[in-house]
Amino acid sequence: MVSVALFIRAAAAALISSTAFAADMPQPLPQPQIQYQPIPVVMEQPAGAWYLRGDIGVGITNDVDFVFLQNPLNNSDFSISHAAMADTVFFDAGVGYEFNNWLRFDVTAQYRSKSAVNAFGTYTLPQPGGGIGVFGDQYMAFLKSVVFLANAYVDLGTWNCLTPFVGFGIGGAWNQFDDLVDLGIGTSGNGIGTNASQLNFAWALHAGLAYNVTQNFTMELAYTYLNYGSVTDQILCQGGCIPDSYKLQNLTSQDFMLGMRWRFQPEPVPVMQAPVMMQQQPVMVPQQPMMMPQPTLTTRG
């Protein structure tokens, strides 16, 4: 009976010991759940921007091609000896769009003020007493123009707020030949023009340096080579004659200008980013061991 009781007590002690050891093993937490962070919204500044521009400058046009177009019904050896045109003052305004930091486009309308034109020509006539006489005509007129251009520019980089640029423009020019007068010298021949006007193709080459005063205000010092076509007018002779024509052709100008650009800063636009999934990692938490009382074996004496 004693041995049976000892066996039962030993088995119970072994069972309690194994249960306590199992309690000492770390136990996993419940399965983690996937959590989603709120979708972040980022405000992004668009690359492009609209702008307004304005310029004022002077056009240097000392040389002018003043051409005599003789009426086929006339017979004369008249030719232009020399011609000149004074400088002109101009101003323009326009609107444009910057695609990015190096490429922009704009359209401009330019008014070029009256520029004085002077020319002198000579011809010969037989004299009543024999021989040939040399006579001359003095011409005075004004040229004024309105030029429309569509321009493209390439900005070549910015250093200390300074940005050099080059550009090209195409468009049209409305030229008017104003107040053309023929003053006969030594003869009774004289006349006046008709104030003719003419629309022509125009093109321009640009180069300059821009200074960024602020993020949205820029000043420019620029040069433009402008080719703006031609214009033709007739002289209506006093006393009656077959009218000849006169043409200002191959009109070009070396323009120097001071300009300003006002940039309209676009509003930032929201950019949605992809949601971020967060998954918690399981944490192994060890359990505190259970302290079980140990059985006490006694023997009978």
User: pLDDT digits over 124-169, tens only?
Assistant: 888 877 788 888 889 999 999 999 999 999 999 999 999 999 999 9
Torsion sign (Cα): 41, 45, 50, 52? positive
Model pTM score: 0.73
Q: Exposed e or buried b for every residue in 39-59, given b needs 16+ CB within 10 A?
A: eeeeeeeeeebebebebebeb
**Whether the predicted pLDDT of 96 surpasses 80:** yes
**Whether the predicted pLDDT of 282 surpasses 80:** no
Q: Tell me what pLDDT residue 238 has.
A: 73
Q: Tell me what pLDDT residue 19 has.
A: 54
Confidence of residue 251 (pLDDT cuts 50, 70, 90): very high
- The residues with which 67 forms a beta bridge, in sequence order, are 247
**Whether the predicted pLDDT of 281 surpasses 70:** no
Would you tell me how many other CB atoms lie within 10 Å of the CB of residue 213? 12
* Alpha carbons 269 and 170: distance in angstroms, whole number: 35
**Whether the predicted pLDDT of 54 surpasses 70:** yes
**Whether the predicted pLDDT of 104 surpasses 50:** yes
Q: Tell me what pLDDT residue 205 has.
A: 98
Which of the 8 DSSP states describes residue 159?
A: B
- Residue 11, classed as helix, strand or coil, is helix
* Alpha carbons 210 and 220: distance in angstroms, whole number: 4
Least confident of 26-35, 63-72, 203-212, 290-299: 290-299
Residues 200, 112 contacting (CB under 8 angstroms): no
Higher per-residue pLDDT: 114 or 273: 114
CATH code: domain 49-267 is: 2.40.160.20
**Whether the predicted pLDDT of 244 surpasses 80:** yes
Name the residue among 40, 38, 37 with its Cα closest to residue 279.
Answer: 37
Q: Tell me what pLDDT residue 42 has.
A: 65
* Alpha carbons 110 and 115: distance in angstroms, whole number: 15
* Alpha carbons 106 and 276: distance in angstroms, whole number: 43
β 197-212/217-227 pair status: antiparallel
* Alpha carbons 295 and 13: distance in angstroms, whole number: 7
Confidence of residue 180 (pLDDT cuts 50, 70, 90): very high
Share of the chain above pLDDT 70, in %: 71
Section 71-86 average pLDDT:
90
What percent helix, strand, coil does the chain show, rounded to 5? 10, 60, 35
Residue that has been written with the tokens 């232009």 in this structure: 80
* Alpha carbons 7 and 35: distance in angstroms, whole number: 55
Output the six-digit token pair for 63: 């040389």
Residues 43, 270 contacting (CB under 8 angstroms): yes
Output the six-digit token pair for 72: 């086929």
Q: Tell me what pLDDT residue 12 has.
A: 60
